[in-house]
Amino acid sequence: MAYRDEKLSEEKVFKDPVHRYVHVRDQVIWDLIGTSEFQRLRRIKQLGTSYTTFHGAEHSRFNHSLGVYEIVRRIINNFEDRPNWNKEERLLCLSAALLHDLGHGPFSHSFEKVFKLDHEAFTQAIILGDTEVNKILSKVEPEFPSKVAEVINKTYENKLVVSLISSQIDADRMDYLQRDAYFTGVSYGHFDMERILRVMRPTEDQVVIKQSGMHAVEDYIMSRYQMYWQVYFHPVTRSAEVILSKILHRAKKMHEEGYAFKLEPKHFLSFFKGEPNLQEYLRLDESVTMYYFQIWMEEDDPILSDLCERFVNRRLFKYIEFNPNQQMNEWMELYKLFNKAGIDPDYYLVVDSSSDLPYDFYRPGEEEERLPIHLLMPNKELRELSRQSDIVESISGKKRTDHKLYFPLDRLEGLSNRSKTKKRIMEILYG
C-alpha cells in the first residue's frame, strides 16, 4: 500500500482537554507527530509570557498544533460527500494543519522583533530543509513537502484548502481561542464550534458558512474580540514581554561591544549576528532560553542581570495609560529624571502599544491579510458577514490601539518627589 494511504492497525487517540479526543488513523500523521521537530513544540509555550498573568497558561504549541489538526480532521469528515470537495486533498490538509506552527521559536513575538526573524519562514525551512519532517513528507511524494509549505504559505492553488487553515474563521483560530480560554480559565473564548462545523460548506475557493449559522459565527467573533483584549494584550503580560525584549537587546548589544560573558552564549551567537541557520534555530527553545536568563542573573552587567532577575522572578514593570500624542512632555520629564539618576531609560522607560482589528471584510495589501467570512444565503448567493450582522458590522475594520508606559516602580519611588509626573503616577497607582 502506498505510504500516503497507510492506516494504523488501530486508531490512536490523544486525550485532549479541549476537543476530548484527538484521533489519528494515518501513518503519515502519526510519524510526523513523532519527529523531533514536532516534539520540540512541547518546549515552546503557546502564549509566551501570558503565564505571568494567568498562571494556567503554561500549555505548549504542541497542544495547539494537535488541536488544529483535529478540527481540520472533523471539518473534512463533514465535507466528505459534498460537492467542491476533493478527497485527494485530505492528507495535505491534515499535514498542513498539524505543521502550520512548526517554525515558532521561544517567546516568538519578542525574538522576532529583536532579532528580525520570521517564524513563517522557519516553518517553510523546516518543511523543505534537511529534517525528519521533510523525510516523512517526501516519502508521501516528492512534491508533497512543497505542497504543504504552500498551503501554510497561502500560495497553494486550491484556495479552499488554504482557507481551512488561514481565514478569519479557520481551524487555527478556532482552536486557540478555545484552548487559551480553557488553560487561562477565563469565561470568554466559548462558542459553539460543533455548530460552526455543521454549517461550513466547501465552495470552489473557500469555506463558507450557511446563513443559519450566522449567530454562532457572531459569537465566535465576539470571543475573539474579548480574548484579544482580556488575555492576549493583557498589560501584565506585555510588561513581561517588554522586559524580555530588553534582555535580548541588551545581550545583543553587549556581545556587539565585545563583552566577555562568563559562559559563552553559544546558542545565541547566530541570533546576535542576525543569521541563525536552521539547526541553530531548532536548538533554541524555551528551556535553553530560561537557562541563559538564569545564568545571566549572575553576569556583571547590572542592566542585564537586573532585567533577567526581574523576568525570572516575575518582578515586572508597572504601567500607566499613556497617550503618545498628548503626554510626550511627561515622558521627556521622566526620561531626564531617569537619566539623571543613572537609570538607563532605554531599558527602564518603555512605551508599548497593542492594536487589534477584530474583524475585517477587506484589507488589501496588509501583511496579516486574512479572507473575510462569507455567508451562504438560502438563495445560494454569498454575502460578506459584516453586511448581514449588525454586531460584526459595528466592530468591523475598527482598529483599536492601546498605549502604555512601563517602568520599574521600585526605581521610580527612589526619585525626586518634586517631579510632577512622578507625583501623578504615584496617585494613579495608589489612588
Nearer Cβ to a second copy (69/156)? 69
Measured in residues, the chain has a length of 431
Distance, in Å, from the CA atom of 415 to the CA atom of 355, rounded to the nearest integer, reads 32
Tell me the one-letter amino acid at 186: V
The C-alpha atoms of residue 166 and residue 55 are separated, in whole angstroms, by: 29
Contacts (CB under 8 A) with a second copy, residues 199-238:
215, 218-219, 222, 225-226, 229-230
Site for a second copy in 20-59 (CB under 8 A): 20-21, 34-36, 39, 42-43, 51, 54-56, 58-59
- The mark string for 359-398 relative to a second copy (x by CB under 8 A, - otherwise) is -------------------x-----------xx-xxx--x
Burial class (CB in 10 A: 0-12, 13-18, 19+), 82: exposed
Q: Which of 77, 287, 323, 329 binds a second copy (CB under 8 A)?
A: 287
**Which region among 146-154, 269-277, 288-296, 325-333 touches a second copy (by CB under 8 A)?**
288-296
Query: Within positions 61 to 80, which residues make up the interface with a second copy, using CB under 8 A?
Result: 62-63, 66
Q: What share of the chain is helix, strand, coil (3-state, %, to 5)?
A: 55, 10, 30
Nearest residue to 123 via CA among 142, 143, 85, 151: 151
CA distances from 121 to 103, 112, 116, 124, 286 (A): 7, 11, 11, 5, 19
In angstroms, the CA 27 to CA 29 distance is 6
Binding residue (CB under 8 A) for a second copy from 6, 280, 286, 333: 286
Reduced to 3 states, what is the DSSP secondary structure of residue 104? coil
CB of 185 to a second copy, least distance (A): 3
CB of 411: closest distance to a second copy in angstroms? Answer: 17
Residue numbers at the binding site for a second copy (CB under 8 A): 9, 13-18, 20-21, 34-36, 39, 42-43, 51, 54-56, 58-60, 62-63, 66, 182-188, 190-192, 194-195, 198, 215, 218-219, 222, 225-226, 229-230, 283, 285-288, 290-291, 294, 312-315, 378, 390-391, 393-395, 398, 400, 428, 430-431
